[in-house]
A and B are shown apart, each in its own frame.
Chain A
């Protein structure tokens, strides 16, 4: 089984090189003339007033947390999908219960307006 993962490891390394190569080329071939105006962050012609790292609405965190929950759910669904054919209707009802519990959570989200993007 591991024989199949060696090409993947090499492919990932090559993939990173595909990113490094062009950047290195651009670094070698391109000019470098630093300039205070040019290197200042883009702000539609204004001077940049302060650091750009602003605080964000808590809603972004909520989206990220809900995402984790659903991602976990997908991780549970993968093995189920593979064995459904073998385990038959029992596995089907097991997943109906599993998804049913989570759909309750989903409905709660929906009714509370957590999915509203205002």
Chain B
């Protein structure tokens, strides 16, 4: 247990430190990369409580996909940082208030009263061949099948919304459609190679018999 506890504190510290850096860094790209670090170390924390599927999926989905989108956005938008910071002091009291209320709320729900060590004693270590992907699958695709299908509908809404919001046609674009490019009919659309005798302008004095007859 000693070493696991040590690892827990290491990863917990990394997570907290990275999360702190996310909100204090001035450069948005650095902030996003610290957020990536925070996600990776919280994935490690999940693996420490033997939730291997969730831990790895956290890396796969959040780090591998969501943060890539974040990076795209912060890299390509010029955010005027000076303008953003201008109202900082003025908004500070309100911000502190909201943060304080949220902290209290979180404490009330996930605080020691409901989620303390007494309520949830550490589970026995799973055997080496335990696979919680399977357990999860059994639950998801039998009891919780309805929420799973709802998740599909939510994803569908996300697809439609993303397209409605971002898709626009560029009028100045000169692209060709590869599907139409490769769709040629055998007859008139193709280059036809024709075999024919060479038509050579006879050089003066050459004998006509050696020039004709052979095609290659």
Contact = CB atoms under 8 A, between A and B. Distances in A.
Q: Is the interface of B mostly helix, strand, loop or mixed?
A: helix
B133 A79 contact: yes
A95 B152 CA distance: 10
Nearest to B161: A65
Interface size bracket, B side: 35 or more
Given A1-B128, A56-B76, A79 B137 contact: yes
Contacts of A67: 65, 68-69
Interface in B38-86: 44, 47-48, 50, 52-53, 57, 60-61, 64-66, 68-69, 72-73, 75-78
Contacts of B77: 55
Interface of B: 4, 7, 44, 47-48, 50, 52-53, 57, 60-61, 64-66, 68-69, 72-73, 75-78, 125-128, 130-131, 133-134, 136-138, 140-142, 145, 148-149, 151-153, 155-156, 158-160, 162-163, 166-170, 173, 175, 177
A104 B162 CA distance: 15
Interface of A: 1-5, 9, 53-62, 64-69, 71-76, 78-83, 86-87, 90-91, 94-95, 97-99, 101-102, 104-106, 108-109, 112-114, 116-118
Contacts of A116: 175, 177
A68 B154 CA distance: 13
B167 A113 contact: yes
Given A101-B156, A108-B163, A82 B134 contact: yes
A94 B149 contact: yes
Contacts of B4: 2
A76 B167 contact: no
B118 to A, nearest CB: 24
Nearest to A65: B162
A7 to B, nearest CB: 13
A60 to B, nearest CB: 6
A90 B142 CA distance: 8
Nearest to A83: B137
A118 B69 contact: no
